[in-house]
Amino acid sequence: MPSGCLVPGCTEKSRLGQSVRFHGLPVKDAQRCKLWLRAINNPRVGEDTGKEIIKGKTICSLHFKLEDFDGRLFGKTRSALKPTAVPCVFAVGPCPDDEQAGASNAPPTAKRSRLQVRLS
């Protein structure tokens, strides 16, 4: 069972009955895993960190955009991530997709993101 989010500064911990979900790093897909590790920018784990170290580490659902979730799976909402999802909702800085598109709007703050997730 996950104990907490790997994103630096995030204090979300696994608790029964909460709406925040935890998603394991995609260790079976090396390229995608590197994208996730680059995105979260945690000094304890980098792109070249071995599978055995990051296996079982998780990132909470607050760091993904709503469109990163596939609500059609098993009738659930926001629990399953799409295969293309990369964590990008942080307190500061643009999402990787927004950066490539040249967007200048910063993503919502973590608190606002939590409210958006809980209201939807």
Q: Give the integer Cα–Cα distance in Å for 6 and 26.
A: 13
Tens of pLDDT, residues 77-117? 557 889 999 999 987 555 655 544 444 444 455 555 655 55
Confidence of residue 120 (pLDDT cuts 50, 70, 90): low
Spell out the domain ranges in the chain. 22-119
| pTM > 0.85: yes or no | no
pLDDT value of position 72: 64
pLDDT > 70 in the chain, percent: 66
C-alpha distances in Å from residue 102, one per residue of 66, 94, 95 = 20, 10, 10
Average pLDDT over residues 23-35: 92
**How many CB atoms are located within 10 Å of the residue 6 CB?**
22
Q: How is residue 3 written in tokens?
A: 């104990």
Mean pLDDT of the chain: 76
- pLDDT over threshold 50, residue 62: yes
φ/ψ of 18, rounded to 5, equals: -90, 155
pLDDT value of position 100: 47
**Which residues lie below 8 Å from residue 98, measured CB to CB, with a gap of 6+?**
88, 105, 107
Q: Give the integer Cα–Cα distance in Å for 30 and 28.
A: 6
**What's the gap between Cα 4 and its chain centre?**
12
